[in-house]
Chain A
């Protein structure tokens, strides 16, 4: 075929230069796209955090009316921690207990929807999400009704002697932990579902073929493969649960108050901004510390 020939090497014109005009436009495009959103986050998230950090170092003697002075009062931190240590540790305790409960309930639920539900899958998934559409506060108030001293639940528990004749649920740590568990359960279930759903059922069959015991199949196959969802879900549960104060307020008493209640009143009732800010920062650092230790141990850092 003589119509075909290699173009003699080197005879071509110099390589066509990259299209400078277009690539210049393309270089600026991402910054244009990012600018409004990033600016918003910087201005209304990052800057306020810095602001809060400096507020936490204000002279604790100041007040809203007399004004505050930035005196680098690092003492605010130990003082606040000392004063509110019970609430602080209680936040983590309650959130941790709620997390354990939520895992016990959420894992079977996510697993059942992902692997056992068949064509009911989507419907069940909707059922998990649906309760969230009823306002958070309204739901928590409903729990108050359910757990109330003359409600049917307490009556039932008293009848079967799980509660003493004067035993109560409302205004106890149980109520607060139950409320936390309830309110944040869907955030644990959904990411967990997402990773369990991707799990190939044949893997489980192959595993049961090889290991036989269902427990071992779970430990060696299901659990490791659902790890990303489990990690994401735990964090999404734990972070808001630790900072929550609605459940303690509505379902508990001051004896069950968490750090959120203290911060809330520092800002809105006592108007002690330096202390409120210091506590906010302590809470955030503690949560971030827990998150990072957790992610390290789980061996992954790109969950979210």
Chain B
């Protein structure tokens, strides 16, 4: 089973899952390199768990393939796959104690002397001494760590983690993140990690995929996705973006020209996802700077004027809202480095940015400015 053959890449090919009329996973194709740390992000209900379940063999795909190396494992029963899962709901066996829960996989594979391995695993997740407790006698976070230990101990070729750290407090979560990352690099297991925590996804993963309604909206290295999102959804799901509705009005050498609200802006064509029709001009809040008046804006920058409508001090930075003449509120994060001018609510101000930090995204003709983050996501995390 595990570790007999080199695993090879995990490939999903045109994977689709429908529940009656509802399509939970829609023609998903992607490759996850052997030994890499892959993070799957997406709003609740977008099909992340369903995707993992198809990889684990707990859900039969409506169509499509799951390949490990060159082997199509879609037809294998779950217990024949070198894949283990840390379940979103833990699914610890209530009638077995912690030791037996962790030893379960080893025992099923006929391994006799499990004692030292289990103890090692339990101390890895800091649960020494809990061997003889029942799952119901543990806290939520402890249960989660048992679930992790129970899967990890099998050294599978692919480990599927469905929000494994969700119930842990911040400190323990950071520890476990480091621990997980260390295990992953040491053992060379392919990790597929579903999480709601963008920071977690970005710091741990080699590759991040953002899912929306059963499809992958964008996939790539964390920094690439963050710096140059592919869609408005990604731009606002991962961190926060100011998206201003405009039209492409032409091009000028390497730049694409955009008209928005009567003003003209330019963006390097390499950072444009669309070169005609309605577009969004996007700038991240931390890429915006504030100045008291248009004359103070450095040459080469582009700017928008407005009134400060809100200023919240959050320690490392101050987060301003700048209300433009047409009512849209732009987010501006200004680092509290001590050298920046402070603005008060009601003051006039100018937000400016380097055109090389802006990006252009396709837009449906009827869509308006989007500056608020997608609900249920922490604002501006990992900026």
Contact = CB atoms under 8 A, between A and B. Distances in A.
Are chains A and B touching in the complex at the 8 Å CB cutoff? yes
Interface of A: 1, 3-13, 15-16, 18-19
Contact of A6 (B62, B72, B219): B219
Interface of B: 9, 11-14, 16, 27, 29-33, 36, 60-65, 72, 74-75, 206-207, 216, 219-221
Contacts of A12: 13-14, 29, 64-65
Contacts of B13: 7, 11-13
A4 B32 contact: yes
Question: Which applies to chain A's interface (DSSP): helix, strand, loop or mixed?
Answer: loop
A16 B65 contact: yes
Contacts, number: 62
Contact of B75 (A4, A6, A7, A19): A19
Nearest to A14: B63
10 contacts: A1-B221, A4-B32, A6-B219, A7-B13, A9-B27, A9-B29, A12-B65, A16-B65, A19-B60, A19-B75
B207 A7 contact: no
A290 B216 CA distance: 58
B14 A3 contact: no
Q: Which 10 A-B pairs have the closest CB atoms?
A: A15-B63, A12-B13, A3-B33, A7-B29, A1-B221, A16-B74, A12-B14, A7-B13, A4-B207, A1-B207
Contacts of B221: 1
Contacts of B74: 16
Contacts of A3: 9, 31, 33, 36
Contacts of A4: 30-33, 36, 207, 219-220
Question: Which applies to chain B's interface (DSSP): helix, strand, loop or mixed?
Answer: strand
Given A13-B65, A15-B65, A7 B12 contact: yes
A15 B62 CA distance: 8
Nearest to A18: B60
A7 B30 contact: yes
Nearest to B209: A4
A18 B74 CA distance: 10
A5 B11 CA distance: 10
Contacts of A15: 14, 16, 61-65
Nearest to A19: B75
Contacts of B75: 16, 19
A18 B206 CA distance: 34
Given A7-B14, A16-B65, 16 more contacts: A1-B36, A1-B220, A3-B9, A4-B33, A6-B29, A6-B31, A7-B13, A7-B30, A9-B29, A12-B14, A13-B13, A15-B14, A16-B61, A16-B64, A19-B60, A19-B75
